[in-house]
Amino acid sequence: MSTAASSAAPPHWHLVGAGHIGTLAAAYVRAAGHGVTVVRPHTAGPIKTTLAFADGRPLQRLTLPTVTPTSIEQPISHLLVACKTPYTRAALAPLPLAATVTAVRLQNGIGSLDGLLPSGARLIDAVTTSAVKGTRAHHDVVAENTTWFGDDGAAPDWFDGLRAHWPNLEWSASIRRRQWQKLVANAAINPLTALHDVPNGALIEDAALHARMRDLVAEADSVLGALDDSWPGDSLAAVAAIARATAGNTSSMRADVQRDAPTEIEAINGWLLRAAAPLGLALPAHRAVFEALRAR
């Protein structure tokens, strides 16, 4: 679903977080004729990288201009946020955001932009199941799965044009449901694989880990069901299917722990714990992994 096409000029995006998904998003918006500039904390030259696609289409070379927050002259009208959630506050604080900025949040977890955008901003949440691997200089786009953009409104006028260049991009009027589904998977798979330093498939193969995954999923379902009685619950089969489909993968949180970087635990399990508190729900399994990861 989208609004009628408009003759408005294509937007110019400022991208925060040129990691795997941020770079893929930059390649798609560039292909759609949008502008894109990467915001970096320190002066640096353009980012030069290549993207290889699993369907065999030609290697794409991408050169992205960069800018520091203090050298941005015009207020930012379109912002793509693809950094890891723990860096969001510091990355956005120095940015000159327009009062009506449109921000697309391509991050795990929920709520990392709360309180960081002007009151007139439009926040579009994005949920993707695409997968990219590689280095800063080269990205292997392993899977171009569905990506949903959405908020409470109709799609913006630039959406149809972008969709033509972003494989499997959809506008979702029920983005919250999509976010919650991804949240439950991330809240179960990520902390367990990080704490036990195992690939995702271990949560299927190891009975003890499987039982802990089941508890995390059941607690997450209890919170989401209490927040919204139309939440279907019973997410275990869906989460197990993700763990199975990504059996050999290192979850993003395990990768963060392996390189001693901050994890996204606050935006994932932390969000569930904060949502559960006013509902009077104790989430012992989430509390345990949250504390264990914070204690690292």
Q: Which residues bind ligand KPL (CB under 6 A)?
A: 108, 185-186, 189-190, 200, 242, 246, 249, 251-252
Whole-angstrom distance, CA of residue 69 vs CA of residue 192: 36
Nearest approach in angstroms of CB 131 to ligand KPL is 8
18 vs 257, which CB is nearer to ligand KPL?
257
- Cα separation, 29 vs 37, whole angstroms: 11
CB of 43 to ligand KPL, least distance (A): 31
Between 39 and 203, name the residue whose CB sits nearer to ligand KPL: 203
Query: Measured from the CB atom, is 36 or 141 closer to ligand KPL?
Result: 141
Contacts with 214 (C-beta within 8 Å, 6 or more apart), sequence order: 236
128 forms bridges with which residues in the sheet? 147
- Of 32 and 185, the one with the shorter C-beta distance to ligand KPL is 185
Question: Minimum Å distance from CB 265 to ligand KPL?
Answer: 12
Q: Give the residue from 262, 266, 261 showing the smallest Cα distance to 289.
A: 266
CB of 258 to ligand KPL, least distance (A): 12
Please tell me the chain's helix, strand, coil percentages from 3-state DSSP, rounded to the nearest 5. 40, 20, 40
Q: Which residues contact 296 (CB under 8 A, 6 or more apart)?
A: 257, 263
For 211-244, give one letter per residue: b (16+ CB within 10 A) or e.
ebbbbbbbbbbbbbeeeeeebeeebbeebbebbe
102 vs 269, beta carbon nearer ligand KPL: 269
Residues 6+ apart with CB under 8 A from 5: 157, 160, 161
Shortest Å distance, C-beta 171 to ligand KPL: 21
In angstroms, give the least distance from the CB of 86 to ligand KPL. 14
CB closer to ligand KPL, 222 vs 249: 249
